[in-house]
Amino acid sequence: MTQSEEKDKFVPAIDQLWKFSAGLSKSIAVARWIGYGLLVLAFFDVVEIFVPPVLMNPAWEFQTIGQLVERVPVPLLGLALVFLGERDQRTRWEPLILNILSWLALLVGVLYFLLVPLGIVDTIRLDTRNTDDITRQVEQRQEQIQQVREALGQATTVEQMQFLISQLDSQGRTPQIQGTEQLAEVKEQLSTFLEQGETRMQEDAQSQKKSRRLRLLENSVKWNLGALVSGALFVSIWRLTGWARRSE
């Protein structure tokens, strides 16, 4: 085979490789613009999350941490697309933008790391608040039950007993009490009902405390670990984009 024939043999392969390279360059350009768009959308999300701010409120802070972690894939994907291809075929204004985004990735990564201790503190504060709220509700209901018990002890006549029952039953289903024997029976039944209601209230309160605590811990573990992973990813982006921080 002559040298000319060998050259002609490789021409189609070279042309195909050139077309593939040109198509890849166009695809990278599209991916970068998508990345910039995702970063802009992520910025809008952050503004929405922090407006209006309710600082020093553990519930707002905890939910804000959750939203920041849940929405972190968008800025991460945006940065990955923007930095795709390093310096190849960049416009004149992009080196400065890439430099800023690289340092911004480090800043955001550090902020995500700082969310972890805040999330732990807010978890403890919210658990204490939930427990206090449930305890306060139980105490209020116990006071109401005690008031009914005192009124029950003071009801010595049929009229007083019927009046007490009418106050407890808003639907007006007041039974007709016939004689002192039935009065004693009704008082005993009402006393038993109050004891059962108080026991059931305590059980419901304990169940509610456990349910709230479990749900709070699940979200805390998920969001705090998510903040750690997110911080590590942003710092990794900063480390791997040293080329963007160096002058050409």
The Cα 174–Cα 166 span in angstroms is 6
Average pLDDT over residues 220-227: 97
Q: pLDDT tens digits for 166-213?
A: 777 665 555 566 666 677 777 788 888 888 888 999 999 999 999 999
In a domain, residue 106? The reply is yes
pLDDT band at 4 (very low <50, low <70, confident <90, very high): low
| Structural domain contains residue 192 | no
Residue 10 confidence (pLDDT) = 47
Mean pLDDT score of the chain, rounded to an integer? Answer: 85
Stretch 5-25: mean pLDDT? 51
| 190 vs 221, more confident | 221
Least confident of 3-7, 26-30, 47-51: 3-7
Domain count for the chain, please give it: 1
Q: Let me know if residue 172 belongs to a domain.
A: no
Please report the pLDDT score of residue 170 as a whole number. 60
Over the stretch 127-153, which tens digit does the pLDDT of each residue have? 999 999 999 999 999 898 888 888 877
- Give the integer Cα–Cα distance in Å for 245 and 248: 9
- Residue 248 has a pLDDT of 63
Residue 120 lies in a domain: yes
Q: How far is CA 46 from CA 53, 83, 108, 118, 126, in A?
A: 11, 21, 12, 18, 23
In this structure, is residue 196 part of a structural domain? no
- What's the pLDDT at 154? 77
pLDDT computed for residue 224 by the predictor? 97
Query: Residue 215: inside a domain, yes or no?
Result: yes
pTM of the model: 0.80
Tokens of 183: 């009065």
pLDDT, residue 16, reads: 56
Residue 55 is predicted with a pLDDT of 87
Residue 184 lies in a domain: no
Q: Which of 89-93, 115-119, 232-236 has the lowest mean pLDDT?
A: 89-93
Q: Tell me, yes or no, whether 158 lies in a domain.
A: no
Domain that holds residue 82: 14-138+209-245
Query: In the prediction, which pLDDT does 185 show?
Result: 78
CB atoms within 10 A of CB 234: 24
